[in-house]
Amino acid sequence: MQVKINTLRRAIHDLLYLGIDNEPIYSDQFCRLNSEVYQQTEALYECQGSTDEEEASLCIVLLLGYSVTAYDHGDKEAKVQSVLNRSWKILDRLPASLLKCQLLVICYGKVFDEALAKELNEIISGWNKAELTLEQTEVIEELKNLKENPYPFEEIKE
């Protein structure tokens, strides 16, 4: 299962960072990557992790996979909600860890529930700021970005 999760994570990364290296983005390459991520996400949707940690990793890539793809066969939002429901079931069982923070931040980005942000901040406050890992820094930056730019969950005034 972890191999499939990692494969999807790499495909999501490739899609998200397409063109960041100043190489041209070709529509066929973009469509192929988008389709690949969506198909892998769909294939993993019915899977369950064998541990809480594996289930958390699975929920993270499923939510990311559905977020970054343009495809929707009419049931994407229902599937996202289902994955969020799965996430709620395991969040309380996960120890305060980077994995829990990664799941919390992606869930927060979907529902903007301040209780999730509060829990994230509590865990982050226990991290040694002088020795943050790349992944910890990414969680902090993502939370900051979501708080500063909550669109589409904030009414835009003209």
Check pLDDT > 80 for residue 155: no
Per-residue pLDDT reduced to its tens digit, 7-49: 999 999 999 888 888 888 888 999 999 999 999 999 999 999 9
Residue with the bigger pLDDT between 123 and 25: it is 123
List C-alpha distances in Å: 87 to 20, 25, 141.
31, 34, 21
List C-alpha distances in Å: 142 to 44, 71, 108, 115.
24, 24, 10, 16
**Per-domain residue ranges of the chain:** 1-94, 95-158
Q: What does the block give as tokens for 11?
A: 């495909």
Distance, CA of 108 to CA of 23 (rounded, Å)? 33
Q: What's the CATH superfamily of 1-94?
A: UpxZ (1.25.40.810)
| CATH code of the domain made up of 95-158 | 1.25.40.810
Check pLDDT > 70 for residue 50: yes
